[in-house]
Amino acid sequence: MQKDFSYPLNIDELNQQEQHHKIKADADELKILKDILQVEDVKKFEADIFLKLNIKLHKLDLWGQVKAIVELKSVVSLENFDKTYDVDFSYCYDTKATYKDIKELEPSIYDDVPDVIENGQIDLANIAIEQLALQLDDYPRKDGEKFEFVSQFDEETTKQTNPFLVLEKLKK
């Protein structure tokens, strides 16, 4: 968990009314995000995050949207290009649960297992960064780019250099 670009909230300080938090990275923070995400550049990073705490149910609902413009390097042409991201997300936290409690739950594909709050805090910036990072392509390429493999060997050359041809002669 990084600490350079952070927006922590203490759960104990939240009230039950819906809250809205807007996170916008300045020029220095964009450089930090570039290093965190390991991309060529981050030109824009904004997040709108909403919170709703239900004390009786020990539940914190969090939802929002991340908007970003990221400069990536194409793995095909090795040229840089900008890609725009618009990511919606939602989380449900159990304000009283521990990792041990979650581990003891009977797993079901129909249940949405709540996230655990560590040390009574959540970091909205980390949540937003994580959502963007999940959308980044491991092998980015521009729209329409395709990788076409061209072999340096033709079929005849491959047959001549095949070491298993010796075995074929022994078989006869």
- Give the tens place of pLDDT for each residue, 97-114: 666 666 666 665 545 666
Strand partners for 69: 44, 84
Q: Is the CB of residue 64 less than 8 Å from the CB of residue 49?
A: yes
**Stated pTM of the model:** 0.77
Has residue 153 been placed in a domain? no
For residues 25 and 33, what is the distance between their CA atoms, to the nearest angstrom?
Answer: 9
Q: Is the CB of residue 45 less than 8 Å from the CB of residue 84?
A: no
The predicted model gives 28-57 an average pLDDT of 95
pLDDT of residue 156 exceeding 80, the answer is no
What's the Rg (C-alpha) of the chain?
25
The predicted model gives 77-81 an average pLDDT of 93
Domain count, the chain: 1
pLDDT of residue 29 exceeding 90, the answer is yes
Has residue 156 been placed in a domain? no
What is the amino acid identity at position 16? Answer: Q
For residues 116 and 140, what is the distance between their CA atoms, to the nearest angstrom?
Answer: 32
Comparing 63 with 77, which gets the higher pLDDT?
Answer: 63
Domain interval for residue 110: 8-144
Confidence of residue 132 (pLDDT cuts 50, 70, 90): very high
Has residue 151 been placed in a domain? no
Residue whose C-alpha is closest to residue 39's, from 135, 148, 147: 135
Q: Is the CB of residue 114 less than 8 Å from the CB of residue 94?
A: yes
Q: Is the CB of residue 90 less than 8 Å from the CB of residue 63?
A: yes
- pLDDT at residue number 116: 76
Has residue 130 been placed in a domain? yes
Has residue 38 been placed in a domain? yes
Has residue 120 been placed in a domain? yes
Confidence of residue 147 (pLDDT cuts 50, 70, 90): confident
List of residues 6+ apart from 1 with CB closer than 8 A: 123, 126
Has residue 152 been placed in a domain? no
For residues 2 and 24, what is the distance between their CA atoms, to the nearest angstrom?
Answer: 17
Has residue 159 been placed in a domain? no
For residues 93 and 103, what is the distance between their CA atoms, to the nearest angstrom?
Answer: 15
The predicted model gives 23-50 an average pLDDT of 96
Q: What are phi and psi of 165, to 5 degrees?
A: -65, -30
